[in-house]
Amino acid sequence: MTRGWTSDVDGHTPPPARRAHAVRARIDELHRRHAAAPVDVVSYYPPEAAGRPEVFGLAGVHVSGVRVSVGDSAERFPLQSISKVFTYALALEDNGRDATLARVGVEPSGDPYNSITFDDAHHRPFNPMINSGALVAAALVHGRTRAERVERLVARLRAFAGDPGIDVDRTILAEQLRSTDRNLGLAYVMRSLGMLDGDIEDTVAVYLSACSVTTTTDELAVMGATLANGGVNPVTGERAMPAALVRDVLSVMLTCGMYDAAGQWFHDVGIPAKSGVSGGIVAALPGRIGIAVYSPGLDGHGNSVRGVNLCRDLSEHFGLHVFTAARPDAAFT
């Protein structure tokens, strides 16, 4: 195993140019290997994505701002559940840690992302990385109107990505709003239980608007790097969220970010991360790098098959697991 993104295969530290070349070659090789590997795909979302199973992007951004992109990293796709990370970040910022925790927990549920189960003992959804908790987080985002809440969320996403053009895809949003019975049902049940208040359709629309923001793997890696960098975008220098709350967000990503496969992910990859049903994954290794992967074939948990496999190998080869001991202070190049 090599450690850091910088060491060469023997663990020696070669001169920077050679080192950068070796790291790039290794990343390219891993991407190629996973692009060619037969994968056990359960589904595609949307189903049309099945027509282009080969699309496969990878990007990494070091907190120093150094970037690497491989494959289809400029392909656009909707954030879907990856947006839950940023909705939660804004809910925390708007309401503070204690008031947010009173409404949504930080406990892995072990259930699928859209399950209609709650933390009955504490009278709240288990965590903000599954739909029930994300709906509560969306309800906690401040704003006088639905449009203002969406605009505030999109503004944050722009700061995280460093792209002023990032926006809600209206076609994707309309389609999601048409087929969201389960989210509406979840929200109504939560309101009946006193876990959620306010206008249900507004809350679901705010949540789905964030899900419908499109991005690229390149941009998503910057978003991850912003989390890894204490909330400051390492490319633009802009602060996207308060430093004190970053640890809260990374913690729920690590324990709950990969749905009911979060334990396996932590074991195998060991980097705070969040997946979306569109096939994207963002991962943020504090103080080091943001990583994004996009490949639309999904496993039974709704996680990208190639994305998970590639991240497992990247973590192994570059010593990225948070519990990797004796990690040298590495640079990306």
Residue 87 vs 176, nearer CB to ligand GLN = 176
State the Cα–Cα distance between residues 200 and 325, nearest whole angstrom. 47
Q: Which is nearer to ligand GLN, 176 or 229 (CB)?
A: 176
Q: Which residues contact 130 (CB under 8 A, 6 or more apart)?
A: 84, 109, 111, 113, 114, 115, 256, 259
Whether 326 contacts 11, CB under 8 Å: no
Mask of contacts with ligand GLN, 47-76, x by CB under 6 A?
------------------------------
The reply to whether 80 sits near ligand GLN by the rule CB under 6 A is yes
Looking only at Cα atoms, what is the longest distance across the chain? 63
State the Cα angle at 239 between 233 and 243, rounded to 5°.
Answer: 105
Return the residue of 4, 108, 276, 297 that touches ligand GLN, per CB under 6 A.
276
Q: Which residue has the tokens 């970040």?
A: 89
Using the rule CB under 6 A, is 295 a contact of ligand GLN?
Answer: no
> Of 304, 277, 295, 316, whose CA–CA distance to 35 is shortest?
295
Nearer to ligand GLN, 211 or 223 (CB): 211
The least CB distance from residue 276 to ligand GLN, in Å, is 4
* Interface with ligand GLN, residue 217, by CB under 6 A: no
Give the x-and-dash track for 154-183 against ligand GLN (CB under 6 A).
Answer: ----------------------x------x
Q: Which is nearer to ligand GLN, 60 or 302 (CB)?
A: 302
Position among 113, 266, 294, 318 found at the interface with ligand GLN (CB under 6 A): 113
Nearer to ligand GLN, 110 or 287 (CB): 110
Binding-site size, ligand GLN (CB under 6 A) = 12
Q: Strands 57-62, 43-44: parallel, antiparallel or unpaired by DSSP?
A: unpaired
What's the CA gap between 220 and 214, in Å, rounded? 10
Distance between CA atoms of 18 and 28, rounded to whole angstroms? 15
Residue 141 binds to ligand GLN (criterion: CB under 6 A): no
| Peptide bond between residue 46 and the one before it cis (omega within 30 degrees of 0) | yes
Q: By CB under 6 A, tell whether 277 contacts ligand GLN.
A: yes
CB-nearer residue toward ligand GLN: 224 or 302: 302
Does 132 bind ligand GLN (CB under 6 A)? Our answer is no
Closest residue by Cα to residue 301 from 81, 143, 111? 111
Q: Do 281 and 275 touch, CB atoms closer than 8 A?
A: yes
Least distance in angstroms from the C-beta of 297 to ligand GLN: 14
Distance separating alpha carbons of residues 91 and 311, to the nearest angstrom: 29
Minimum distance of ligand GLN from residue 247's CB (angstroms): 24
Q: Are 195 and 103 in contact (CB under 8 A)?
A: yes
Binding site for ligand GLN (CB under 6 A): 80-81, 113-114, 131, 176, 183, 208, 211, 276-277, 302
